[in-house]
């Protein structure tokens, strides 16, 4: 079986997490344990286009500065990974809105209109400085990380606008603005796109597959060899979701898989 995991924030320990976004954090000791458990089950950590059968690919979404903590494990276990970034935050240093807006947690943001929000705030004015533990990376920090690991940069949109059918008119802007910035700042042209909050319509998916080699969801299913749509498993803070290996096992449980497959089919027609 091939798996692809989606992570967000990393921390050394859970002792001093910020007040919002705690569900996004996974500690290095917990991640190390998961790596060992998956290796014990015979999995190899590979890039997503590896042809092997028993493989795991690790991805990070958004572009948090704390993702640099992964360099240690990536080097020790020779783990390649993809870091999907939303270009606006890395280029401006603006904090991610889901960590600033009272009452909105990350998974409540799937209907959030980022264009209205940033329009109303005249760009970045009035948006609070991000907490140091959850601030976006700068492009030079991202470049440093890329130089020290087997890391590939992926595109995660510009403002991180979820592309449900309600917002599919923003697709071209999310894709083209971010790609132009990534080319200009890093001299890379990402071949992979990950969907903000995992949202997509049938039309959005079709258009993204015209622009990218692979498109990444968080629909939580095993990865098909050579498949161009990669359904990742999203891992959350074990204090909320239980042990990481258990989160994977429960996503793989037959009943869950059927439910998710139906949900994916429904998403296509939203």
Which residues of this protein are in contact with Zn ion, per CB under 5 A?
A: 61-62
Task: Give the span between the Cα atoms of 39 and 219, in whole angstroms.
Answer: 23
In the complex, residue closest to Zn ion by CB:
61
Whose Cβ is closer to Zn ion: residue 61's or residue 174's?
61
Whose Cβ is closer to Zn ion: residue 45's or residue 159's?
159
In the complex, least distance from residue 8 CB atom to Zn ion, rounded to whole angstroms: 7
In the complex, least distance from residue 225 CB atom to Zn ion, rounded to whole angstroms: 26
In the complex, least distance from residue 142 CB atom to Zn ion, rounded to whole angstroms: 15
In the complex, least distance from residue 160 CB atom to Zn ion, rounded to whole angstroms: 6
Task: Give the span between the Cα atoms of 123 and 92, in whole angstroms.
Answer: 10
In the complex, least distance from residue 91 CB atom to Zn ion, rounded to whole angstroms: 16
**How distant is the alpha carbon of residue 181 from its chain centre?**
18
DSSP string, 89-134: HHHH-PPPGGGTSTT--GGGGGG--HHHHHHHTTTTTTPPPPPGGG
CA distance between the termini of the chain: 29
Helical spans, DSSP H, in the chain: 28-40, 70-76, 87-92, 114-120, 139-148, 171-186, 202-211, 238-241, 244-252, 254-268
Supply angle C-alpha 132, 136, 137, rounded to 5.
100
Whose Cβ is closer to Zn ion: residue 30's or residue 62's?
62
In the complex, least distance from residue 258 CB atom to Zn ion, rounded to whole angstroms: 26
In the complex, least distance from residue 45 CB atom to Zn ion, rounded to whole angstroms: 22
In the complex, least distance from residue 189 CB atom to Zn ion, rounded to whole angstroms: 20
Taking CB atoms within 8 Å and a gap of at least 24, the contacts of 170-173 are 170/115, 171/204, 171/207, 171/208
Whose Cβ is closer to Zn ion: residue 55's or residue 162's?
162
Q: Are 162 and 204 in contact (CB under 8 A)?
A: no
Task: Give the span between the Cα atoms of 145 and 133, in whole angstroms.
Answer: 17
Whose Cβ is closer to Zn ion: residue 62's or residue 168's?
62
Whose Cβ is closer to Zn ion: residue 86's or residue 207's?
86
Whose Cβ is closer to Zn ion: residue 139's or residue 193's?
193
Q: Are 65 and 49 in contact (CB under 8 A)?
A: no
Decide the pairing of beta strands 233-234 and 9-11.
unpaired
Whose Cβ is closer to Zn ion: residue 182's or residue 245's?
182
């Amino acid at each position: 079986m091939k798996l692809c995991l989606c992570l967000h924030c990393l921390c050394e320990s859970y002792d001093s997490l910020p007040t919002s976004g705690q569900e996004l954090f996974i500690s290095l000791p917990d991640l190390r344990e998961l790596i060992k458990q998956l290796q014990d089950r015979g999995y190899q950590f590979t890039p997503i286009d590896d042809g092997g059968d028993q493989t795991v690919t690790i991805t990070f979404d958004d572009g948090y500065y704390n993702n640099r903590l992964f360099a240690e494990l990536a080097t020790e276990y020779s783990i390649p990974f993809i870091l999907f970034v939303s270009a606006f935050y890395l280029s401006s240093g603006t904090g991610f809105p889901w960590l600033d807006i009272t009452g909105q947690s990350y998974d409540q943001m799937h209907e959030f209109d980022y264009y209205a929000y940033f329009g109303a705030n005249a760009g970045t004015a009035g948006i609070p400085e991000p907490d140091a533990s959850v601030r976006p990376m700068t492009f030079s920090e991202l470049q440093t990380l890329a130089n020290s690991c087997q890391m590939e940069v992926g595109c995660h949109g510009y403002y991180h606008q979820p592309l449900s059918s309600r917002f599919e008119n923003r697709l071209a802007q999310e894709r083209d603005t971010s790609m132009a910035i990534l080319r200009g700042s890093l001299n890379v042209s990402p071949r992979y796109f990950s969907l903000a909050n995992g949202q997509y319509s049938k039309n959005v998916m079709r258009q993204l597959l015209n622009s990218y080699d692979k498109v990444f969801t968080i629909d939580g299913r095993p990865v098909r060899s050579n498949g161009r749509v990669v359904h990742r498993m999203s891992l959350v803070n074990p204090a909320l979701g239980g042990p990481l290996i258990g989160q994977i096992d429960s996503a793989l449980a037959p009943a869950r898989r059927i439910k998710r497959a139906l949900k994916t089919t429904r998403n296509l027609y939203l």
